[in-house]
């Protein structure tokens, strides 16, 4: 008999549904990974570990270790307060060494989900097959600002309207 985890999801864990909706994953495993927040999700097909927290604590080293040990990209969404309801820290696998991105803002451009720095720089796209680094932001600063606002509204509505 299959057992289900019936505990209510914390608001920061609900954030994980946003990137999961963009990915084409058919299986998900929940893990307690050393140093990572409780309830990290492993998505084997896109080779991605999703995690979330509402703490201000940094998880840079555990994220790098998890990425290396599990051979996965790592996306940690951080629930915040203020004008920006969420930030993301991301580790991408690479042949040389993992690449760490911190304090990226979620941005909705068209139907796509992006994580973009406040200033110009490398950004990360969430696609069906996983995460992909892009060297430049996918839009001009005005469009990005509109995308940040759209995503902030979407996150706020999502967190208010989702019951588990």
What pLDDT, in 10s, does the model give residues 29-77? 777 788 888 878 888 889 999 999 988 788 999 999 999 999 999 999 9
Beta bridge partners of residue 86, listed in sequence order: 79
What distance in Å separates the CA atoms of residue 54 and residue 96, rounded to the nearest whole number?
Answer: 31
3-state secondary structure of 102: strand
Phi, psi of 34 (to 5 degrees): -55, 125
Q: 56 exposed, middle or buried (CB, 10 Å; 0-12, 13-18, 19+)?
A: exposed
Q: What is the pLDDT of residue 8?
A: 65
Domain edges within the chain = 11-161
- Whole-structure pTM value: 0.88
List CB contacts of 135: < 8 A, sequence separation 6 or more: 122
CB-based contact 131:124 (threshold 8 Å): yes
């Amino acid at each position: 008999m299959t057992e289900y985890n019936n505990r209510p999801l914390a608001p920061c864990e609900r954030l994980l549904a946003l990137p999961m909706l963009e990915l084409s994953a058919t299986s998900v495993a929940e893990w307690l990974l050393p140093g990572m927040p409780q309830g990290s999700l492993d998505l084997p097909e896109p080779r991605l570990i999703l995690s979330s927290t509402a703490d201000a604590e940094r998880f840079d080293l555990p994220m790098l270790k998890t990425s290396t040990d599990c051979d996965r990209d790592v996306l940690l969404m951080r629930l915040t307060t203020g004008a920006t309801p969420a930030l993301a820290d991301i580790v991408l696998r690479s042949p040389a060494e993992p690449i760490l991105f911190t304090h990226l803002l979620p941005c909705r451009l068209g139907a796509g989900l992006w994580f973009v720095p406040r200033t110009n720089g490398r950004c990360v796209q969430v696609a069906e097959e996983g995460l992909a680094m892009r060297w430049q932001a996918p839009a001009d600063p005005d469009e990005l600002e509109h995308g940040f606002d759209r995503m902030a509204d979407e996150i706020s509505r999502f967190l208010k309207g989702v019951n588990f």
